[in-house]
Chains A and B, each alone.
Chain A
Amino acid sequence: MWRHLAQRLLFSVVTLTLVTSFVFVIVRVIPGDPAQTMLGDQASQEALVALRSKLGLDRPILVQYLVFLADVARGQWGLSMTNGRSVLGELLSVLPSTLELTFAALLIGTALGMPLGVLAALRRNRMPDYAVRIGSLAGISFPAFVSGLFLLLAFAIYLPLFPVINAGGDTLGERLHQLVLPAVNLGLIVAAYVTRVMRSAMLEVAQQDYVRTARAKGVPEPVVVWIHCLRNALLPVVTFLGLYTGILIGSAVLTEIVFSRPGLGKLIVAALNQRDYTTLQGLVLAYTIILIVINMITDAILGLIDPRIRHYRV
C-alpha cells in the first residue's frame, strides 16, 4: 500500500513538473506585454524598462523558468502583475469558496447518484432503469452554465426563493442559503455521471464468479446485492469520482460565473483579461496540486475498500 502510494507520488511529481513547464511556456507566449498592461498606454519607455526588470521579464526565458521553479518550491508564488498582491494569498482567499461548492456538489451527487445507479441496475431494462438512464443522459448533456442559468431563471427570478447574486454571506445560514442553487446545479450533473458509473459497475460485478458462488451457496439475495456486489461496484465509482473532481472544479468555475459567486472562476476570468501571468501560473499550479492530492486520496480510499489493491506489489 505505502509502496503503491510512494510510486504514485513519484509519478505525480513528474506530472506536476510537466504541467508547470507547459503552463510556463504557454503563458509566456500570450501576446501582449504585461508591463504595458500594468502601466497603461501612456507609460514612458523608461518606466516600462524599469518595470520589466523589476518583474524579471528582461531575463532569458530559461533563467525565468528556473527562478520560477525555485520560487514555487519555496512557496513564493510571486505577486499579481495587476494589483501587486500575493498570488498565493489571493488564491487561498478564494479557494475555500470553490472547494465548498465542489464538495457540496460531490456530496449531493453521490448521495443521489449511487442509490439511483443501484436501482437502475437492479431493475435492468424495466421502467425505473429507463427513467434513470434517460435522466442521467440528460444530466451529462447539460453544460454547467446552461443548467445553472435555467435554475437561476426558475428559482431565483420566477420563484424568488434564492438570491440572484451570491456575493458571500456573513452568517452560516446565509452562506448555506446561497450555496443551495449552485451546489444543486453541479450536484445534479455529478449525480448523472455517478448513476451511469454505478449502474454499469453493478451490472458488471453481478456477472462475476464470486457472486454466482455466493448465490449458489445460499447467501440471501439482499446480502449478495448489498455486500458482495455493492462493495466491489464501489471501486469504479471511487476511481471515477477521483478523476471527475478535477473536471468538476472546471465546471465549478462556470457555475460561479453564472451565480456571481466569488471563487477561482472570477479570478481566472480576471487574470485572463488582464494578462496577469503570475496569477494564471499560480492558478494552474494550485489546480494541479489539488488534482494530485485528490488522486492520492482516491488511491488511499481504494486501498481501504479493496484489499487486493492494498496488498498489490508492483
Chain B
Amino acid sequence: MSAIPLHRRARRRRIVLGRALAATRQAFLGNKTALLGLVLTLAIVMAAIGAPWLSWIDPIDQDIMSRLKPPSAAHLLGTDQFGRDIFARLLHGARITLLIALSANLIAMAIGSLIGLIAGYYGGRLDIVLMQFMDALLALPSLILGLLLVAVLGPNAANISAAIALTLVPAYARVARTPTIAIKEREFVASGRALGYSDLRLMFRHILPNIVPEILVVASLWMASAVRVEASLAFIGLGVRPPAATWGGMIRDGFENILDGPYLVIFPGFAILVLVLALNLLGDGLRDAIDPRLREER
C-alpha cells in the first residue's frame, strides 16, 4: 500500500483531474463553432423549459376561425390546419424531443457502457458472444429498428425513448469496450488485482472513470442522432400521439397542406435542423477538446 494518506491521495487526484479539465475547457472555449453549438443547445433547452411562459397560447388550443394563417402579430409563426399556434407548438415540441433524446441516451449509455465494460474486461468467449449480438443489433439501422419497436410497443414518449435507446446500445457498447481493453492492461489495474480487488471494484472504480470522457463525447453526437430518429419516426406517424406537438408530427401535418402554407414545414424543419446542428457542433468541439489529452495518456 502507498504510504501517502488517503485524503492526500484524493487531493492529488483532484489536482491532476483539475488540470486536465482546465486544458480541455480551454481547448473547448477557444473553439468558436463549439461555443456556438453550446449556446444554441442551451438556448433551445431554455426555450423548452420555459415554454409555458414564453408563449401563453395553449399548443393544443384550436382556433377554428384562424386556420392556416401565415405569421402575424397574434400568431408569431402562424397557425396550422386546426388553427393551433405554431410558435407554441414548436416550444412544446422541443420539450418532447429533448426529453426523448435525453432519456434514450441515458438508458443506452447505462446499458451499453455496462455491456462494453463487461465484454472488454472479461474478453474471450463472453466478449465474442456479446459483441456479435451487438453487431447483429447494429446491422439494423436505427430507423428501421425504431420503426418496428415503436409499432409493436405503441407510440408514447417512454416507448419511443426505449426504442431509440435500443438502437444506441450497441454503439455505446462499442465505444466503452475499446478503451476498456486498453486500460485493463495498465499497471494500476494490475496492482489493483494484485491487491485482491474484486472484478466489480476494478471495473467500476478504476476503469469506468477512465472511459467516461469517451462516452460523454459520443453522447452529444448521439443526442443529435436521437433527435433525428425521433423526428423521422414522428414524420412517418410513429411519434407521440396527437394532439401533443412534435416537430416531426408538425412537418407531417404541414406536408399535407404544403401548398397552402410552406411555413408549416419550414419552421419545424428549421427547428430540427438547428437543434441537430447545435448538438453536432457541440459534440465535435468536445471531441476535439478531449482528444489530445486522451492521445497523450495512451
Q: Which of A11, A22, A144 has the most CB of B within 10 A?
A: A22
- CB pair B152 A29 closer than 8 Å: yes
CB distance from A201 to the nearest CB of B (A): 16
Residue in contact with B280 in the complex, picked from A29, A140, A251, CB distance below 8 Å? A140
Please report which residues of chain A, range 120-164, place their CB below 8 angstroms from some CB of chain B when the two chains form the complex. Answer: 134, 137-138, 140-146, 149-150, 152-153, 157
| Bound complex: CA A24 to CA B231 (Å) | 26
Min CB gap A16→B, angstroms: 8
- Asked if A288 and B139 make an inter-chain contact with CB atoms under 8 angstroms apart, the answer reads yes
Q: Is the CB of B147 within 8 A of A153?
A: no
CA–CA, A150 to B258, complex, Å?
Answer: 11
Tell whether, in the assembled complex, residue B151 and residue A272 are in contact, meaning their CB atoms are under 8 Å apart. yes
Per-residue CB contact flags for chain B residues 85-100 toward chain A (1 = under 8 Å, else 0) read: 0000000000000000
Q: Are A254 and B284 also in contact (CB < 8 A) when A142-B273, A153-B262 are?
A: no
Residues of B within 8 A of A194 (CB): none
* Pair B144/A250 contact, Cβ less than 8 Å: yes
Residues of chain A having any CB pair with chain B under 8 Å:
11, 14-15, 18-19, 22-23, 26-27, 29-31, 134, 137-138, 140-146, 149-150, 152-153, 157, 246-247, 249-251, 253-254, 257-258, 268-269, 272-273, 280, 284, 287-288, 291-292
Which of B71-79, B105-113, B202-210, B232-240 lines the interface with chain A? Answer: B232-240
A11 to B133, CA, bound (A): 11
B33 at the interface (CB under 8 A from A): yes
New A-B pairs, 5, CB < 8 Å, besides A14-B136, A145-B231, A153-B265? A11-B132, A26-B148, A29-B152, A141-B276, A149-B265
- Chain B nearest CB from A186 CB (Å) reads 13
Assembled-state Cα–Cα distance A61/B280 (Å)? 44
A257 → chain B, closest Cβ, in Å? 7
CB-CB < 8 A to B139: which residues of A? 15, 19, 246, 288, 291-292
Query: Bound complex: CA of A27 vs CA of B148, how far in Å?
Result: 8
Q: How far is the CB of A247 from chain B (nearest CB, A)?
A: 5
Instruction: Indicate if the CB atoms of A137 and B152 lie closer than 8 Å.
Output: no
With a CB–CB cut-off of 8 A, which chain B residues contact A280? 148
Query: Which of B152, B236, B255, B280 is A26 in contact with, Cβ under 8 Å?
Result: B152
Asked if A284 contacts B280 (CB within 8 A), the reply is no
- Chain B count of residues within 8 A CB distance of the other chain: 41
Contacts of A138 in B (CB 8 A): 273, 277
Complex Cα distance, B145 from A27, in Å, reads: 11
Contact A146-B269, Cβ < 8 Å, known A137-B281, A254-B236, A288-B140: yes
Which A residues are CB-close (under 8 A) to B255? 149, 258
Asked whether B281 lies within 8 Å of A153 as measured between CB atoms, the reply is: no
In the bound assembly, the distance between CA atoms of A75 and B174 in angstroms comes to 34
Contact partners of A134 in chain B: CB under 8 A: 33
User: Once the chains are docked, how many angstroms separate the CA of A250 from the CA of B235?
Assistant: 14
How many residue pairs link A and B with beta carbons under 8 A? The number is 111
Tell me if B10 counts as interface (CB < 8 A to partner A).
Answer: no
In the assembled complex, which residues on chain A have CB atoms less than 8 Å from the CB atom of B269?
Answer: 146, 149-150
Q: Which of B136, B137, B141, B284 is A137 in contact with, Cβ under 8 Å?
A: B284
In the bound complex, CA of A148 to CA of B257 (Å): 16
Report B143-166 CB contacts with A as 1/0, cut-off 8 Å.
110011101101000000000000
Are the C-beta atoms of B281 and A268 separated by less than 8 Å? no
Q: Which residues of B contact A141 (CB under 8 A)?
A: 224, 273, 276-277, 280
Is B81 in contact with chain A by the CB < 8 A criterion? no
Q: Would you call B69 an interface residue if the criterion is a C-beta within 8 Å of the partner chain's C-beta atoms?
A: no
- Given A137-B284, A280-B148, A15 contacting B143 (CB threshold 8 A): no
Most buried by B among A137, A142, A149: A149
Give the distance to chain A from B134, nearest Cβ to Cβ, in Å: 10
Q: Determine which of A15, A18, A19, A149 lies in contact with B251 in the assembled complex, contact meaning CB atoms within 8 Å.
A: A149
Contact partners of B41 in chain A: CB under 8 A: none
Cα–Cα, bound, A297→B281 (Å): 33
Is B136's CB under 8 angstroms from A157's CB? no
- 9 example contacts (A-B, Cβ-Cβ < 8 A) are as follows A11-B135, A15-B135, A15-B139, A19-B140, A22-B137, A29-B152, A149-B265, A157-B262, A268-B144
Q: Which of A18, A27, A249 has the most CB of B within 10 A?
A: A18
Q: Is B266 an interface residue (CB 8 A)?
A: yes
B141 contact from A11, A152, A250, A268, Cβ within 8 A:
A250
Residue from A157, A251, A269, A292 in contact with B258 in the complex, judged by beta carbons closer than 8 Å = A157
Please provide the 9 A-B residue pairs with the shortest distance between their CB atoms, ordered closest to farther.
A18-B136, A250-B143, A141-B277, A250-B141, A141-B276, A146-B269, A15-B136, A143-B228, A247-B141
- In angstroms, Cα B154 to Cα A15, docked, is 27
Interface string of B255-295 (1 = CB under 8 A from A): 10011001001100100110011001100100000000000
Known: A27-B148, A157-B259. A146 touches B132 (CB 8 A): no
Q: Which of A18, A254, A273, A284 contacts B133 (CB 8 A)?
A: A18
Asked if residues A146 and B251 are in contact (CB atoms below 8 Å), the reply is yes
Residue contact A143 to B231, C-beta cutoff 8 Å: yes
Inter-subunit contact A250/B142 (CB<8 Å): yes
